[in-house]
Amino acid sequence: MLTLGASHGTATRRRTPPDASSRAARRHPLPRGACHDDPVELVEGFERQRMHVVERSRVAAALRSPVTRRLVVTDAGFFPAARFHARSRPRGVPETIMIVCVGGAGWVELAGVRHAVGAGAAAVIPGGTPHRYGASEAAPWTIWWCHLRGSDVAELVAATGLTAERPVMALRHAERAVALLDEVVTTLERAVASAQLLGAAGTAWKLLTQIAVDRTVPERGDPLARAMAYVDERFDGPVRVSELAAMVGVSPSHLSALFRRATGGGVLAYVTARRMAEARRLLDTTAMRVADVADAAGYTDPLYFSRQFRKVHEMSPSEYRDLRKG
């Protein structure tokens, strides 16, 4: 078993007997006067844990190399039923820490504010942020975790919506995050050569972007998903924001805000994008006249369609059709 005696020390291997976690717990009773949620750091590991820590010389080299300078996984692991697991770092660490809880419960504390972390939730602690975190005494968490460095980490975390002020969020698809973290740990366990660091970085990138996507893509049946489905089926006809909002049960302003958050544009921008996608499909796969393509895409005026198409694609429909694609 790979364990650390400190937060970021040199990795060492130690064989932990099956009952080591219970023996460790007996050796670490709560200090007199401490409450049950105060961090009591467990030095030994947890039964069936997995953990890998990349040597800091390799991390430094990766941060000077193409691709991994943008993102490198420095530590990753899995702690099951991690009783007495806790960390307190008053000065923070350079790495951004991601924790995904799959069972039990725990907490993270930033700037003196404690946030509960339950099963199916992710927590992020930005690099350099003083923090504490730990498992619940009553129901110790089971967690997958990784530590990240690199020039793009802050932007990737920002895309997830997680911040120092709001460091915890419920995951829509926790099983996807677990599968990706498992892949990160497995990749690092094989051997920490440059190829493994590159592979782990790619998987960690996918983890963060998947969380960001799940945050913005609507769930089936919610107002945004129903509105999008309506537009997808009826983009070739008139679409009025007020009527669409009433149909899905929200105000026009709220519906517009939902579209902007998910797509970057409002309702009418989504309608235009859907119409342009259909126009491209027809121009690419049929010999239909441009006027007929316009009508099929929802434009009654071919000249207006051509102006809109040029505005979006910086070329006319005919020029687009003549392009050599693929």
Nearest to residue 271, comparing CAs of 233, 226, 235, 225?
A: 235
Residues of the chain with CATH 2.60.120.280: 2-216
- Residue 83: count of CB within 10 angstroms of its CB: 20
For the domain with range 2-216, which CATH number is right: 3.40.50.300, 2.40.50.1020, 3.30.930.10, 2.60.120.280?
Answer: 2.60.120.280
CATH 1.10.10.60 describes domain 223-322: yes
Q: How far apart are the first and last CA of the chain?
A: 50
Residues of the chain with CATH 1.10.10.60: 223-322
Three-point CA angle 90, 48, 172, nearest 5° = 70
CA dihedral 139, 126, 198, 11 (to 10 degrees): -60
| Rg value, the chain, Cα | 26
Per-residue pLDDT of the chain (326 residues; tens, 9 = 90+): 333 333 333 343 333 333 333 333 333 443 333 334 444 555 457 889 999 999 999 999 999 999 999 999 999 999 999 999 999 999 999 999 999 999 999 999 999 999 999 999 999 999 999 999 999 999 999 999 999 999 999 999 999 999 999 999 999 889 999 999 999 999 999 866 788 999 999 999 999 999 998 887 777 778 999 999 999 999 999 999 999 999 999 999 999 999 998 888 999 999 999 999 999 999 999 999 999 999 999 999 999 999 999 999 999 999 999 998 88
Encoded amino acid at 325, one letter: K
pLDDT given at position 82: 95
pLDDT given at position 305: 97
